[in-house]
């Protein structure tokens, strides 16, 4: 039997996988500079955490979660999103009892049973940040700009920011009533009608063309904001403008999870086709209470690593060289004694900060040099019996073909100087 990755999943392979590491580093670096500490939660949690926190009417909970009963009879779910586990961890370990806001960032895989297509997979990687325990427009603006800073550091220019406010527990009920009244008059299927009664905002997030066409005249949440929410949203907008951030007000923007309040945003990229969102987030002031904790107003985002890679490729920023540089130096030992000496040399080079590899398996010089060329290395170290007798090794410039004998004791120093210059 030939095993393959499950449908809707994929493998990251070199050299493209190097881009994934670069994306994760670039997206998390601005947050680390802003005082966000790393958090890592389990890949699976109690199912009830997501049912309560994400929302029982969402597609994620009703259709997409990977849920199973473990050997102890507990209902367990593979993590479909990162925020609810972070809030659970903060509450469990009492981080909210210390200085606020608690600033955290994370990186990891999530799992949803979705219809597999480009940019939407059943396992996907995200980098996310959460700032918990403060209700402040400046914190919202900070979170938004940190995401943009990550994109900018990757060289992306096609990312656009969409911005909206979903109101609060004081003004949302009136909007909910107006929206339900409108939606009840539409031609919707039975499941969607049921969603209208449970959480009508979920209907606004429906991507089906036949539903979206009927939503053109739907009431807007921004027309129902209370004065406090209007002032809060305007301050977020003013702070973003002061920071030189360009954004588009999108009064129809909602997020796919029940816990969002007030500030809501998405990062979109025009080069991704139907799956244009590369990341997004917002404020979720009631989530802590939903899962049994105290009031803990919070804000955060999650950015798709997979989709960011696709955006880089769409802008031609991913590079196309399948011989992407993986090592700087490649060792070619000729004979058993040379292999032992080369093994020691490579350890010394790596300890000195030089990336280095060597030919394994007793290949001849021709095969070993082919491997050196494929490695993308700048220099090869060729070491044979005559070299050992003379206490030297040959350093070959793989670009020019120039070859020089260098004393073994000076190999590391010589290569470091060459690589520096």
Structure token digits, residue 213: 């066409």
114 assigned to a ligand binding site: no
112 assigned to a ligand binding site: yes
Q: Helix, strand or coil for residue 3?
A: coil
Q: Please choose, from the candidates 352, 362, 356, the residue with its C-alpha nearest in 3D space to the C-alpha of residue 331.
A: 356
C-beta of residue 209 within 8 angstroms of C-beta of residue 71: no
Burial class (CB in 10 A: 0-12, 13-18, 19+), 22: middle
Structure token digits, residue 174: 């009136």
**Would strands 379-383 and 403-407 be described as parallel, antiparallel, or unpaired?**
unpaired
Report the side by side order of strands in the sheet with 44-46.
Answer: 44-46, 75-78, 67-69
284 assigned to a ligand binding site: no
C-beta of residue 331 within 8 angstroms of C-beta of residue 350: no
340 assigned to a ligand binding site: no
130 assigned to a ligand binding site: yes
82 assigned to a ligand binding site: yes
**Would strands 44-46 and 75-78 be described as parallel, antiparallel, or unpaired?**
antiparallel
How many angstroms separate the CA atoms of 342 and 108, rounded? Answer: 38
259 assigned to a ligand binding site: yes
Q: Please choose, from the candidates 415, 318, 324, 331, the residue with its C-alpha nearest in 3D space to the C-alpha of residue 374.
A: 324
- Cis-peptide into 15, omega within 30 deg: yes
56 assigned to a ligand binding site: no
Q: Please choose, from the candidates 362, 367, 371, 352, the residue with its C-alpha nearest in 3D space to the C-alpha of residue 412.
A: 352
Binding site members for L-histidine: 81-83, 112, 126, 130, 255, 259-260
Binding site members: 81-83, 112, 126, 130, 255, 259-260
């Amino acid at each position: 039997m030939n095993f393959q990755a499950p449908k809707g999943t994929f493998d990251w392979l070199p050299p493209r996988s190097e881009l994934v590491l670069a994306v994760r580093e670039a997206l998390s670096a601005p947050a680390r500079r802003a005082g966000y500490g790393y958090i890592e939660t389990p890949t699976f949690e109690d199912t009830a955490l997501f049912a309560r926190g994400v929302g029982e009417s969402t597609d994620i909970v009703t259709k997409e979660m990977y849920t199973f009963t473990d050997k102890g009879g507990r209902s367990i779910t593979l993590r479909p999103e990162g925020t609810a586990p972070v809030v659970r961890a903060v509450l469990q370990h009492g981080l909210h009892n210390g200085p606020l806001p608690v600033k955290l960032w994370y990186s990891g895989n999530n799992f949803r049973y979705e219809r597999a297509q480009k940019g939407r997979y059943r396992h996907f990687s995200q980098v996310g940040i959460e700032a918990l325990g403060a209700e402040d427009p400046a914190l919202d603006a900070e979170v938004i700009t940190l995401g943009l800073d990550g994109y900018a550091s990757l060289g992306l220019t096609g990312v656009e920011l969409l911005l909206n406010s979903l109101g609060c527990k004081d003004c949302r009920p009136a909007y909910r009533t107006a929206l339900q009244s409108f939606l009840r008059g539409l031609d919707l299927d039975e499941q969607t009608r049921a969603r209208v009664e449970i959480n009508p905002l979920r209907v606004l997030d429906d991507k089906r063309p036949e539903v979206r066409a009927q939503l053109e005249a739907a009431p807007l949440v921004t027309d129902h904001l209370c004065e406090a929410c209007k002032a809060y949203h305007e301050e977020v907008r003013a702070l973003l403008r002061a920071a030189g951030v360009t954004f588009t007000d999108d009064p129809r923007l909602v997020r796919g999870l029940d816990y969002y309040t007030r500030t809501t945003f998405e990062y979109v990229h025009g080069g991704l086709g139907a799956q244009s969102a590369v990341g997004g987030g917002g404020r979720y002031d009631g989530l802590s209470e939903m899962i049994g904790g105290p009031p803990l107003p919070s804000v955060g985002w999650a950015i798709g690593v997979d989709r960011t890679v696709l955006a880089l490729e769409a802008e031609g920023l991913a590079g196309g060289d399948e011989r992407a540089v993986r090592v700087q130096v490649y060792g070619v030992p000729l004979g058993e004694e040379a292999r032992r000496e080369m093994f020691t040399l490579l350890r010394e080079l790596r300890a000195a900060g030089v990336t280095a590899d060597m030919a394994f398996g007793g290949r001849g010089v021709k095969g070993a040099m082919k491997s050196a060329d494929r490695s993308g290395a700048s220099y090869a170290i060729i070491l044979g019996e005559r070299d050992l007798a003379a206490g030297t090794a040959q350093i070959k410039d793989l670009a020019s073909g120039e070859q020089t004998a260098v004393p073994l004791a000076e190999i590391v120093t010589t290569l470091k100087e060459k690589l520096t210059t």
